A and B are shown apart, each in its own frame.
Chain A
Amino acid sequence: MAAATVLNGNAPSADWPGRYHHVDQILDKPGPRTDPSFLAGPGVKEFLRDQCKILVIGAGGLGCEILANLALSGFKDIHVIDMDTIDISNLNRQFLFRPKDVGKPKAIVAAEFIMSRVPGVTVTPYYGKIQDKDDDYYMQFNLVICGLDSVEARRWINATLVNLVDPENPESLKPLIDGGTEGFKGQARVILPTITSCYECSLDMLNKPTAFPICTIANTPRLPEHCIEWASVLEWPRVQGDKKLDTDNPEHIQWLYQVASARAKEFKIEGVTWSLTQGVVKNIIPAIASTNAIIAASCCNEAFKIATSSSAYLNNYFMLIGTDGVYSFTFEHQKRDDCPVCGGESLDITISREWTVDRLIEMLVERQDIQVKKPSLSSGGKQIYFQAPPQLEEATRPNLEKKVLELVEDGGDITVTATTLPFNLTLRVKYT
């Protein structure tokens, strides 16, 4: 262990002869489906091992597998972000963690483990939220892999990487490889921001968390889950008033557990336990180590293929369904024109510093290439002018007389929506 750690600080010497013998079979000569730009030999190896910087988001079930796979396939500059600490229940599948690590940050323990086991690899951890980091941080990577269980975090990183794309700068386009699992099911996908369908484009394909009809949980509970939902959705707000339910607070879970148990007893339902209560309110989906391994492996193969151009990469959605035999399916998920993140159009406009909002709207309506009727405008989440509802129209009407310059800075964006637009339109404003 100690020797390996020493080697770690000294990357070149860590590459003993034959270390990458197997991987090099792929990198030393082109195959029938390799990209024409593939440069077999030292160039691609040097890029992979000395230049390529990859970010792994999430150091949980998928993240542990992803980190190990990347390190063993030759990526040497790996960064990892995770905001969680290690819980004893993680140890059955998050194999970079040991009982002594319980309570410590996942990102830091995972990074140390990989570095001590795979000489020459640097894993830089960040214990915190992805939202703590700015565009400059994400700009430094060549590739991003996500192994997350939160829809919200995925939507955030997806939007951030789409926003990062700068038409003047090829380096700003960061491929995003997204893995996800749910029990025996999983998916891996390659998102080329602004080019292929993005995470937001496929939002309506997601399995939504199981929600039971509220009248069922109120009147005719049959399952232990109905009793738990009754406790959390109906009883908590009724009894606790405005106090917010914190699903990470064991006392809150305990309260729900007791209330749900009493209800279950009344209706002669069995199976309400503390852990089921926690599972239902936190919407915990059973995680299966082998599904994580399959999906993580698939994500890392894509990262390797994209980083080296050695083979055709996934276009663009791989689905694994292991609940009823084994079924897998790969298809090209289509980009949506009305996607609020990558869809819609963007237009650079240059207007006079004297122009009022009213004048700008008039211009939008007149322009043949936009074809917009009754547009509503906002900038950075602030309303500029809304056509409806009546109260907001009235509240924003005084802005019509104001100069655009007073509301939007030079180079700023305006989000335009209208019934006639299936999507939204973004205006980038410059003043003369």
Chain B
Amino acid sequence: MIKIWSMKKNEDAAAKKKPKTSAAQIRVQKDLTELDLPSTMKTHFPDPADLLNFTLTITPDEGMYKGGAFVFSFVINANYPHEPPKVKCIPTIYHPNVDLEGNVCLNILREDWKPVLNLNSVMVGLQYLFLEPNADDPLNKEAAEELRRNREQFIYNVKSAMRGGNIKGVQYDRVLV
């Protein structure tokens, strides 16, 4: 066998044994404890001992979604950060990039996810959707069309949906703070 150990003697730093904590756990610890969230975003852990399942509440302080509180569930699996966290919007909301099942169209949650991204990037990305809803990547086609055609009407619909209104036969959840 090659004498690997002698190569090791020349290495100064990384010569020590590492703990049993999994790479995914360490990453989640690092991501969570280094979250730098504005006052408009808050995390909640139903079980504080379980770092892999939690919610994020976004309360935009500007834009057309101001006044609402939007709750997202986060589920992180053991293959994080190779795989992105699974994120869903819990209430039924009127938004061009969120469908009625709570699926969210945000590129970094799927096709553009990279392990160098972190939970902070995802949260900031979600908040951005409320400031700049995007009619080009529709998941709620009705809402996207309205936004493109008549911005005034769209804003009116957003306000009405946030109060728990019914738009074109769809009942939305009341999300006012």
Contact = CB atoms under 8 A, between A and B. Distances in A.
A340 interface: yes
Contact of A206 (B2, B37, B82): B82
Contacts of A162: 18
Nearest to B26: A340
Interface stretch (A70-78, A326-334, A376-384): A376-384
A335 B14 contact: yes
Contact of A215 (B25, B37, B137): B137
A417 B17 contact: no
B1 A215 contact: no
A211 B138 CA distance: 17
**Ranked 3 nearest A-B pairs via Cβ:** A346-B16, A413-B19, A376-B33
A405 interface: no
Contact of A307 (B1, B22, B79, B107): B1
A212 B21 contact: no
Nearest to A421: B30
A424 interface: yes
B13 A345 contact: yes
A419 B43 CA distance: 19
Contacts of A224: none
Contact of B30 (A159, A238, A391, A417): A417
Contact of B48 (A142, A392, A413, A428): A392
Given A152-B78, A163-B19, A238-B101, A382 B32 contact: no
Contacts, number: 188
Contacts of B8: 173, 194-195
Interface of A is mostly: mixed
Nearest to B43: A389
B116 to A, nearest CB: 6
Given A212-B111, A378-B21, A155 B82 contact: yes
A47 B1 contact: yes
Contacts of B81: 203
Interface of A: 35, 37, 47, 52, 142, 151-152, 155, 159, 162-163, 165-167, 170, 173, 175, 192, 194-195, 200, 203-204, 206, 208, 211-215, 218-219, 233-234, 237-238, 306-307, 309, 313, 335, 340-348, 376, 378-383, 386-392, 395-396, 413-415, 417-419, 424, 426, 428
B124 interface: no
Contact of B15 (A155, A194, A380, A390): A194
A347 B19 CA distance: 11
Nearest to B100: A238
B49 A383 contact: yes
B14 A204 contact: no
A37 B2 contact: yes
Contact of B26 (A35, A233, A313, A424): A424
Nearest to B8: A195
Contact of A426 (B11, B18, B33, B34): B18
B170 interface: no
Interface of B: 1-5, 7-8, 11, 13-23, 25-27, 29-30, 32-35, 37, 42-45, 48-49, 51, 78-79, 81-82, 97, 99, 101, 103-105, 107, 109-111, 113-116, 137-139, 141
A340 B115 CA distance: 12
B110 A211 contact: yes
Contact of B2 (A35, A214, A380): A35
Given A155-B79, A214-B110, A342-B14, A219 B21 contact: no
Given A195-B8, A378-B29, A388 B111 contact: no
Contacts of B105: 213-215, 218
9 contacts: A175-B2, A195-B8, A204-B115, A212-B111, A219-B139, A340-B30, A341-B23, A381-B22, A415-B19
B14 A343 contact: yes
A416 to B, nearest CB: 9
A394 B4 CA distance: 47
A341 B1 contact: no
Nearest to B99: A218
A215 B110 CA distance: 11
Contact of A237 (B49, B51, B101): B101
B116 A204 contact: yes
Contact of A173 (B4, B27, B116): B4
Contacts of A418: 33-34
